[in-house]
Amino acid sequence: MAAPSIRLLKVVVFGLCLVPLAMLVLAVFGVGGLSLGANPIEELIHQLGKWGLKFLLMTLAVTPLRKLTGWNWLIRFRRMLGLFAFVYVLLHFLVYAGLDQRFELTAIIEDIAERPYITIGMSALLLLLPLAVTSTKGMMRRLGKRWQKLHRLVYVIAILGVWHFYWQVKLDTLEALIYVSILAVLLGYRLLDWWRRKRWKAAGPRSNHDRIAHPR
């Protein structure tokens, strides 16, 4: 895809990524028939968390989609999607810490220490921080090969995040299981890809050897 159209598309995608947040802000003020219902704090926390997970899964979908379709330009949207995942997860935490817990540090620390689902959710957020910080082009250049290694943390983060969602559900896990399944497909694709490449690499030198050996 040509550079100008990518630039335009980036603006459009950026705008789309802000739509859920805008809807929630409107709902807070009850504008346009939107409402957060009878338990607005919980609704805000749940919606922000779920959007964080959705953006994480979209970020993880970029590479498989790119490989399957050959649309290499998709990669240019990955950072934006990843950063939006971070923004929504951070807001999810801030509404929990600020509105739900009113920034009472002892209560928050107790929650993180005693509620396993909050422990893993908090870990996922903390692991997201270095990825957000090192998402710039300059950092990418400076870190070189280590950048890719560091950013493989996103797999761990996604697993912790989806697990955090699954674990806090009271009984009806259907919705959380949809997230689990999508993540399983996205990670499964990578495992399969890795395994195929490994086999191909393993087969590689042998066939070379055959080729060299043959003329003798």
Partner 1 sequence: MKSDNRIHPWEITSERNYLNRRQFIQAAGLAVGAGAAAALPGRALAATRELDTVPGPYSTDEAPNSWEDITTYNNFYEFGTGKEDPYRNAQEFQSRPWSVKVSGECEKPGIYNYEDIVGPHTLEDRVYRHRCVEAWSMVVPWVGFPLGDLLQRFEPNSDARYVRFKTLYDPQRMPGQRRAVLRWPYVEGLTIAEAMHPLTLMVVGVYGKELPNQNGAPLRLVIPWKYGFKGIKSIVEIEFTRGQPDTSWEMAAPREYGFFANVNPEVDHPRWSQARERRIGAGLFAEKQPTLMFNGYAEQVASLYSGLDLRKNY
The neighbour count for residue 163, using CB atoms within 10 Å, is 19
Binding residues among 94-113 for partner 1 as defined by CB under 8 A: 99-100, 102, 110-111
Site for partner 1 in 47-66 (CB under 8 A): 47
Give the number of residues in contact with partner 1, rule: CB under 8 A: 33
Rounded Cα distance, 76 and 168, in Å: 34
In the shown chain, the binding pattern of residues 2 to 41 toward partner 1, with x for contact by CB under 8 A and - for none, equals ---------------------xx--xx-x-xxxxxxxxxx
For partner 1, the closer of residues 113 and 184 by Cβ is 113
CB of 171 to partner 1, least distance (A): 6
Rounded to the nearest whole angstrom, what is the least distance from the CB of residue 121 to partner 1 in the complex?
12
Q: State which amino acid sits at residue 26.
A: L
The full DSSP string for 109-122 is HHHHHH-HHHHHHH
CA distances to 38, 43, 90 from 35, in Å: 9, 10, 22
67 vs 3, 60, 82, 190, CA distance in Å? 20, 12, 19, 11
Chain centroid to CA 21: how far?
Answer: 17
Q: What's the min distance (Å) between Cβ of 12 and partner 1?
A: 20
| Residues at the site binding partner 1, with contacts judged by CB under 8 A | 23-24, 27-28, 30, 32-43, 47, 99-100, 102, 110-111, 114-117, 167-168, 170-172, 174
